[in-house]
A and B are shown apart, each in its own frame.
Chain A
Amino acid sequence: MLRFARCYSLARSKATQIQSTVFRPEYALKCGLEIHTQLNTKNKLFSQSTNSATPLLDVPNHHTSFYDVALPGTQPVLNLEAILFAMKLSLSLNSQVNMVSQFDRKHYFYGDQPQGYQITQHYRPFARGGKVNLSRELDGIDELSKDISIVQLQIEQDTGKSHYTDADKDVVTLVDLNRSNIPLIELVTNPDFSDIKQVKAFIKKYQNLVRHLHISSGDLETGAMRVDVNLSINGFARVELKNLPNTSSIINAIKYEYQRQVELISRGETDSLLEPETRGWTGSSTVKLRSKETTIDYRYMPDPELPYINLAPDVISGMAASMLELPDDIMRMLMQKPFQLSLKDAKILTYNGNQNDMYNHEALRSYYLETFHEFSKLIGKHSSAKLPTNWIIHEFLGDLNKLQVPLGKAQEILPPAVFAEFLRLLYTDTISPTSGKLLLFYILENFKQSGCQDSSIPDLPKLIKEFELHAITDVDSQELMTLCNDIIAQHTDDAFIRNLVSGKKKTSLKFLVGQGMRQSQGRIKASEFEKKFKEILNIQW
């Protein structure tokens, strides 16, 4: 194994909260991002090795081919899937895809760099330009709207990984080449960020985009997405920040570095800010990794054996035509008529929250949209957007989580048309919401008890009849009178009645109605109770 001295201690100190950073207008922050995203292609960029989806669980050096370990005589063969993925991302960002791009070699020695160079795109990158729009409405930034412009996107190889272990006497480096040659896209933005909220929003948005396009897991934790930051204050030289494993590191490193530079500037000690440098994040502070004098010349060379990527115009236009709708468009569509979802609900249907096994957002969205459509057909108008939203996104999902029934399974017994019919029963007051909840839960629980095997469609009218869940539309006035009188006798006193009748405490009526609903198990409509109580107590307001 490779042995060499370390440049600085790798021991990670505990992340400390940087609380005191105050962004001051007289010290203007200018920030750009460089994001490396691993593409989740089936195979690696230039070999047939599997591109593992579970990097943390793998045996070291398991996913390697002769090419990945740079055996003599091996050659790179380009994986076209990576080109396809890069094209999707470029089009989503409105970047100009270059009809001809090329691969170049970037040379430097390192234990986890088996060829002694990395194949990247230096002279002619895959795509140039483009932008990401951030808005107050969707992304919660302070500005109404802000564009972050993109310099370029390039395709390149990932390197292997070095693991440093401390033996008592010497320092040993272990090299794992599973990651070597996994396709990466490096995206470089212009230094358009002027505050931390924008940086956070951009990262979140970009992460969601690559997930939406199914081109990357977008996870920072596994290293599938890695963010470097460059930053400068008041036009001093730019400092690049590396080794930022998660969002909080990114944010804290920017805060720390901002604070550090502001202090230097305010003390007039700006000598060290005249030359660009690269700094690493230790978890609590930034430390200098290298400056201009120690920067190595990468000796970029066009790769002599990989052909140019020549794209026909119809390939790009064909891809553009088959592109999925983008998250922002979906969000806006869901938040407008007829759906009128809240930002929060729209996000549930648009973004991969990544923490739920029972459904994914795409399946849920199409279930929602189809059900909505079926429901609209049944009732002939769009007026009741709230009903499908509440019942699908809240009630139904809640039940699935409670019962641990996956959406894909539940759809077998509750296809959109059936759920729409269920909604119609609620809409027409055929069943009360309380009964609806009981009925929905019963259906799903029953299905679960069959081991999710019995996928016969439930007969809603039969079940309603069987459990006497029908709303009582034809309420016997005398019975209702008795019920209301009982409630008044049990739950009120003189003061209560006085305040209620005088209108001093109108909410008391709601309390009484609530009691009524409870005792009738929701089968008698609230308005019936309200009318009857007013009549009995002779309420005039």
Chain B
Amino acid sequence: MPLKRFLKQPLQRLSDLQSKYNIFTSISITANKEQTNKPLTNYVASIKDNIVTKDLPTTCASHILENFKSPYDATVVKLLKQAGVHILGKTNLDEFGMGSGGVHSMRGPVINPLYPHEQGMIMGGSSSGAAASVVCDLVDFALGTDTGGSVRLPACYGSILGFKPSYGRLSRFGVIAYSQSLDTVGILTKKIDVLRKVFQVLDKYDTKDPTSLNDELRGLIEKNMKAKKPLKIGIVKEFNHESLPSVFHELYSSFLKKLVNLGHEIYPVSIPSVKNSLPIYYTLSPAEAASNLSRYDGIRYGYRDSKLDIKDGVLFAPTRSKFGIEVKNRIILGNYNLCSDAFKNNFIKAEKLRVNLIDEFDRIFRFPNVLTDSKGNPEGLDILVVPTSSKLPETIKDFQEQESKSPANSYINDVFTVPMSLAGLPTLSMPLKEKTPIGVQIVGQYGDDSTVLDFVESLS
């Protein structure tokens, strides 16, 4: 059965949008045969192209995985298929998920459909195509991955919902690792009820993923659940709000007023370690990336240099020169961090600081953390509200210019999203105004995804 029947839009529109915004890396118009009485029957979804699928190629938008087709489906893909979802295609991204602009792809940058495409505005990354597919209403929801903000930032720039669940809730089996102590599968959509349904389908323990949250701990979290009303909401001092654009401040203060009117209590709170987040993140994630990307040698799959396997005495250098510039930068940085001379000073220190950050989060939340055995602070907060981005979307040209001056310019963009990645906290970015690329993140304690979802639902 052709997928057209289920498409909310005619096929012609799909190809128009694709040529304008560069959303997909591959498209499939074969429909899912599982269609009756499944929880997500007739839903259409897109999958970020760093999540493996049997039916479509998986490229990570990298030359190194040119024409790679996985012999198996990722667990999240399998679960969606079983739930009756039609998968429309694989979406464009920053190569291997590395980037926050959506510009580092061998298929070219994704353009933000919130703006006329001639303006060439960035979508935000790395789940750029995922966000664009939702913004254009080509799909009901998209699966992305979020390592340091890769679901939340493009969701914010597309004025849609972007949810990064607690680390370990959604299986990573079949998600191509960038930095797997942080990588989290996320859901992008316009509707909170859709988000909930999809989350429910995917929120399962997977024995194939060693970091999957096991049933025992899930049960413990369930037991800790209590109905809370009103909520205690925290505003974190260390997130520098002054730097934000003035248009943000207007929307933000009316949002906070709305919360007060709904009877919630708002408190300022301090998390000193937040200021260490970027150094921690850019020490650990490139190191993990350098390690994870060592497998791309061209021998078993993917691109391989046709002539040489060795250059200047380095095995596989000719093949691996095909990585894009941003990926190469991070591999170099990562290998530097892992060098025996630097390891103790950088990597170990970063891991310690990461633990400190998690401890500080544990101290301000009321909900217990089952991973750290924190009992929860009885006087603590239920959720935090944090801006999603320090900037508004810019043109691709400006973004690339900034980046070419210093890669750090684009790294700074992650300042509001990275702390929650380091602590594995459930975080949902929601727009403050329709069709406006300004959003806030609703952050819950580890495992307390339902409070975050309930809260966002209560606002709609």
The interface of chain A, by Cβ under 8 A from chain B, is 1-5, 66, 69-78, 105, 107, 109-111, 114-117, 175, 297-302, 304-307
From B58, B181, B340, A72 is in contact (CB under 8 Å) with B58
A297-B339, A299-B339 known; A117-B300 Cβ under 8 A: no
A117: B residues at CB distance < 8 A: 291, 294
A71-B70, A76-B210 known; A304-B338 Cβ under 8 A: no
A5-B310, A110-B315, A307-B210 known; A73-B70 Cβ under 8 A: yes
A75-B173, A75-B210, A116-B297 known; A304-B288 Cβ under 8 A: yes
The majority secondary structure among interface residues of chain A is loop
Interface size on B, residues (CB 8 A): 48
Smallest CB gap from B75: residue in A: A73
User: A109–B176 contact, CB under 8 A?
Assistant: no
| Distance, CA A78 to CA B207, complexed state (A) | 11
User: B299–A111 contact, CB under 8 A?
Assistant: yes
Q: How far is the CB of B13 from chain A (nearest CB, A)?
A: 32
- Chain B window 170-183, contacts with chain A (Cβ cutoff 8 Å), 1 for yes, 0 for no: 00111111011100
B299: A residues at CB distance < 8 A: 1-2, 111, 114, 175
Inter-chain pairs besides A72-B295, A305-B180, 15 sampled, C-beta below 8 Å: A4-B310, A72-B65, A72-B301, A73-B173, A73-B175, A77-B207, A105-B291, A107-B291, A107-B294, A109-B315, A115-B295, A116-B297, A297-B339, A298-B340, A300-B340
The interface of chain B, by Cβ under 8 A from chain A, is 51-52, 58, 60, 65, 68, 70-72, 74, 172-177, 179-181, 207-211, 287-288, 290-291, 293-297, 299-301, 309-310, 314-316, 335, 338-340, 343, 347, 351
A78: B residues at CB distance < 8 A: 210
Smallest CB gap from A72: residue in B: B176
User: B338–A299 contact, CB under 8 A?
Assistant: yes
Residue of A2, A69, A107, A114 ringed by the most chain B CB atoms within 10 A: A2
User: A301–B347 contact, CB under 8 A?
Assistant: yes
B339: A residues at CB distance < 8 A: 297, 299
Q: How far is the CB of A299 from chain B (nearest CB, A)?
A: 4
A73-B175, A116-B295, A307-B210 known; A301-B288 Cβ under 8 A: yes
| Distance, CA A359 to CA B9, complexed state (A) | 75
A4-B309, A4-B315 known; A297-B340 Cβ under 8 A: yes
B177: A residues at CB distance < 8 A: 72-73, 305
The majority secondary structure among interface residues of chain B is loop
Residue of A66, A71, A115, A299 ringed by the most chain B CB atoms within 10 A: A299
29 A-B interface contacts by CB (under 8 A):
A3-B309, A4-B309, A69-B300, A70-B295, A71-B71, A72-B52, A72-B70, A72-B177, A73-B70, A73-B173, A74-B173, A75-B172, A75-B173, A75-B208, A75-B210, A76-B210, A78-B210, A109-B315, A114-B300, A116-B291, A116-B293, A116-B296, A117-B291, A117-B294, A299-B339, A302-B351, A304-B181, A307-B210, A307-B211
User: A301–B287 contact, CB under 8 A?
Assistant: yes
A5: B residues at CB distance < 8 A: 310
For the complex of A and B, list the 3 residue pairs with the smallest distance between their C-beta atoms, beginning with the closest.
Answer: A116-B294, A299-B338, A304-B181
Q: How far is the CB of A114 from chain B (nearest CB, A)?
A: 6
A77-B208, A297-B339 known; A304-B180 Cβ under 8 A: yes
Smallest CB gap from A304: residue in B: B181
| Distance, CA A1 to CA B309, complexed state (A) | 10
A298: B residues at CB distance < 8 A: 340
User: B74–A73 contact, CB under 8 A?
Assistant: yes
A69: B residues at CB distance < 8 A: 300
A304: B residues at CB distance < 8 A: 179-181, 288
B65: A residues at CB distance < 8 A: 72
User: B294–A71 contact, CB under 8 A?
Assistant: no
Smallest CB gap from A109: residue in B: B315
B207: A residues at CB distance < 8 A: 77
Q: How far is the CB of B58 from chain A (nearest CB, A)?
A: 7
Residue of A1, A74, A114, A115 ringed by the most chain B CB atoms within 10 A: A74
A117-B294, A301-B291 known; A71-B301 Cβ under 8 A: yes
| Distance, CA A69 to CA B301, complexed state (A) | 10
User: B294–A115 contact, CB under 8 A?
Assistant: yes
| Distance, CA A76 to CA B172, complexed state (A) | 12
Smallest CB gap from A299: residue in B: B338
Q: How far is the CB of A182 from chain B (nearest CB, A)?
A: 18
| Distance, CA A175 to CA B309, complexed state (A) | 14
Q: How far is the CB of A305 from chain B (nearest CB, A)?
A: 5
